[in-house]
Amino acid sequence: MFTLSISECLASNQQVRYSNSKLIFTFISFTIKQNVMSLKYSSTTADYLQWSEAMNLIRKLARDSNYKMSLLIALGCFTGLRISDILALRWNLILDAEEFTITEIKTGKQRTIRINMQLQQHIRDCYEHINPVGINAPVLISQKGTVYTVQRINVMLKETKKKYKLHIGNFSCHSLRKTFGRQVYNMNNDNSELALVKLMELFNHSSVSITKRYLGLRQEELLNTYDCLSF
């Protein structure tokens, strides 16, 4: 008959405890990582524009001959792209195009964007007024001939907020992406969960909860809890 000595049993038990501890540590590490990723998106400080105000702003900027800023805001609100991807766009990709495909700088993933007829026309109008050096030129370049930096875009957005007296707190590059997300969500109020799933995929988020935090929807849900209370 096969038997184990006391020392062998103890060694075996210690090995089991070690294996269990390792599994628990791995699980805890994974959970912490997921929570950190969620918090990353729950603490973004940018606000969003009401859709009507965003559309009015695009038109006002064009009337004031600020076609670059008008196009920037239009592209941000209608595509939901990150500012890094917008700044990488070239005219030959979007001019008179019904859709275009990019490789996202942050994620390395491909994404196809459809351009509706209104945005197509606005892109054409801005192209004719901006009159770039060529069809292969970047869409958004400064008077120095260089592509705007994200920092410079944020400064320009703050100046735009002040000039046009926008009803928004922190107006930054993220605001355009959030404005897109909010409008998609609001237009699908009858099926908000489906809208969130779509936005999760468009934003390349790992879960719907991250998308809700990113758009500020989770915070609104929590605050609405207080409205349920009464004397």
The domains located in the chain, with CATH, are 51-173 (1.10.443.10), 188-224 (no CATH)
Q: What is the pLDDT of residues 13-33, one digit of tens each?
A: 556 455 555 555 454 454 444
Residue 107 tokens read as 């994620």
Distance of alpha carbon 173 from alpha carbon 156, whole angstroms: 10
Choose among 68, 5, 203: nearest CA to 212: 203
Residue 193 tokens read as 């969960």
pTM: 0.76
Q: What is the pLDDT of residues 208-218, one digit of tens each?
A: 999 889 888 87
Q: pLDDT band at 189, cuts 50/70/90?
A: confident
- Which pLDDT does position 139 carry in this prediction? 97
* Helix ranges restricted to H, 98-190: 117-130, 150-164, 173-187
- Which pLDDT does position 192 carry in this prediction? 85
Residue 164 tokens read as 């046009």
Distance of alpha carbon 120 from alpha carbon 43, whole angstroms: 34
Q: Could you tell me if 188 and 170 are in contact, meaning their C-beta atoms sit under 8 angstroms apart?
A: no
Report angle CA 210, 223, 199 to the nearest 5 degrees.
25
